[in-house]
Amino acid sequence: MQPVRHSRIPLRAPDTPVPLSLRQESSFRKIWSHWKLVDATNIFFIAWLNGQVDEEALAGSVRHLARRHESLRMTVRPGGERIYLVVSDEQQGEIQVFPAGGQSDQAVMMTASQFVQEPFDLVAGPLARMGLYRLSPVRRLLAISAHHLIADGASLAVALGELVELYTTTRAGRPLPTAPAIQYGDYTVWQRRQTGDESRRDVEYWRPRLTGIPRLCFRDGDPAQPHRQGTGSCDMDLGADIFAMVREWSQRTGVTLFMALLAATVLAVSELSGEQDIAVGCEAENRALPETRSMIGFLFNVVVLRVTLDEEMTLREVLEQVRTVCLGAYAHSATPIEQVLDEVFPGRDPATIPLFQVHFTLQPRLPRFALGDVQIEPADIASVDTGYDLEFHLWQGTDALSGQVRFDRTAIDDCGAEQVMGRMRAFLEAMMDHPDRRLSAYGLGSSGGGAGTAAS
């Protein structure tokens, strides 16, 4: 909770109306256009607490967290044709405590899962909630939920880290830290006042890269099936030995771990679909400014990483192309993707014309948080809903890499999902062992590739 010495974002005047950020306005346009101001686009975290928890200190820490970050006290207010953010001065951040003695872990987990996925009233608020399920004096389940309008994945890590620090400070009787000088409302006002030069450059960068993206078909038959057949998931674990090799090799090669894993993913998707032109959606945190790194708010964006394969390319050349694509995309990620699409594809219907079908994320595994002597143990949530045909969710730990492949059974079956996960690992090993081998050796980069292609 270190203060930012020199801020590029100025403080807004006290009476300045707080607009939605560009990303808030564009990403949640369905809410604004239909005035459906009760919504369940939530981000959440559930964890077990084993040990003696000072509930009074925890409750005080949550209240102070809400005082520190105005985004946790925000709601929305319709103002004619525009929507504004409203910051409440009233105390917020109360913990709801639920007695759960005598209930099984599974039953409490199910109840907590429903709790964190309940919709929020964006006008009445609050847009964050916390529940504490008390199974016994030494066992509790903590459930935290916030609407995506006020928080993203990086915000969750900020909130957890501060909550732990505030709890420790409270129990030690030390003075609590003051609120950050620059708040999310200052960011949205500052962002709206920026010139459009950067947005115009971003749009022109993305225009040729988003045009003509082919539709991927992961199974025989018509890829556009009208009825969803449910979702599935497969767990993956790279293993400590291979993870250490990949991390050392990627550093020696001059690429990031993200780039290496993405290259292997692109090759596996190409093999399964038989397509040479692969577009993958990824996230950009958009927290380059120092004052945004510890900010709770909705800042992240989506970028599309598009890779074109050819049978004469080597695995080394694929990796080099992925590196170039990543550097260019993240250098032009400031403009919300929805605004870019409005310029590139006027009148596009995202419900019928998806921009990409494959989504890839690599995130650092949350550090081991503890409330004093009580370890916070994240709980797995059974829900595997997916918004894309195929999603790769990878978590990087200190010495291991684990993850989950989630898939829409309308587009891909269980066998195909298992195959793409195994092939991703195989291509990762091939890039390390045989970087100069051509894609033709794997049946890739030509119209002859496709699902079931064997590779040594």
| 8 A C-beta contact, residue 139 and residue 106 | no
Check whether 292 has a pLDDT greater than 50.
Answer: yes
> φ and ψ at 290, to 5 degrees?
-55, -40
| 8 A C-beta contact, residue 150 and residue 291 | no
Check if CATH label 3.30.559.10 holds for domain 18-191: yes
Q: What is the mean pLDDT of residues 402-428?
A: 91
Query: What CA–CA distance (Å, rounded) separates 436 from 275?
Result: 21
Query: What CA–CA distance (Å, rounded) separates 267 from 428?
Result: 9
Q: What is the mean pLDDT of residues 415-442?
A: 93
Rg of the chain over CA atoms, in angstroms?
23
The C-alpha angle 288, 293, 294, rounded to 5 degrees, equals 165
The reported pLDDT for the residue numbered 446 is 67
| 8 A C-beta contact, residue 199 and residue 301 | no
User: Would you say the CATH fold of 196-442 matches that of 18-191?
Assistant: yes
Query: What CA–CA distance (Å, rounded) separates 382 from 109?
Result: 9
The C-alpha angle 71, 46, 52, rounded to 5 degrees, equals 105
pLDDT in tens, 173-218: 999 999 999 999 999 999 888 877 888 999 999 999 999 999 999 8
The C-alpha angle 99, 100, 102, rounded to 5 degrees, equals 130
Neighbours of 82 (CB within 10 A): 12
Sequence ranges of the domains in the chain:
18-191, 196-442
Q: CA–CA distance from 412 to each of 214, 357, 420, 450 (Å)?
A: 17, 11, 10, 13
Query: What CA–CA distance (Å, rounded) separates 94 from 25?
Result: 28
pLDDT in tens, 95-134: 999 999 999 999 999 999 999 999 999 999 999 999 999 9
| 8 A C-beta contact, residue 66 and residue 73 | yes
Check whether 165 has a pLDDT greater than 70.
Answer: yes
Q: Which long-range contacts (CB under 8 A, 24 or more apart) does 288-294 make?
A: 289/8, 289/9, 290/4, 290/6, 290/7, 291/4, 291/7, 291/8, 291/9, 291/180, 291/182, 291/187, 292/9, 292/187, 294/1, 294/2, 294/158, 294/162, 294/180
| 8 A C-beta contact, residue 336 and residue 283 | no
Query: What CA–CA distance (Å, rounded) separates 408 from 420?
Result: 14
- What is the phi-psi region of residue 215: left when phi exceeds 0, alpha when psi lies from -120 to 50, beta otherwise? beta
Check if CATH label 3.40.50.970 holds for domain 196-442: no
**Tokens 């079908």 belong to which residue?**
357
CA nearest 335: which of 205, 440, 212, 241?
Answer: 205
| Confidence band, pLDDT 50/70/90 cuts, at residue 227 | low
Q: What is the mean pLDDT of residues 24-33?
A: 78
pTM to 2 decimal places: 0.88
Is the bond leading into 137 cis (omega within 30 degrees of zero)? no
Neighbours of 346 (CB within 10 A): 7
Query: What CA–CA distance (Å, rounded) separates 189 from 337?
Result: 20
The reported pLDDT for the residue numbered 439 is 96
Give residues with Cβ within 8 angstroms of 40, minimum separation 6.
117, 118, 119, 120
| Confidence band, pLDDT 50/70/90 cuts, at residue 448 | very low
Q: What is the mean pLDDT of residues 29-35?
A: 68
Percent share of the chain, pLDDT over 70? 90
The reported pLDDT for the residue numbered 352 is 59
Tokens of 250: 């990627």
| 8 A C-beta contact, residue 398 and residue 364 | no
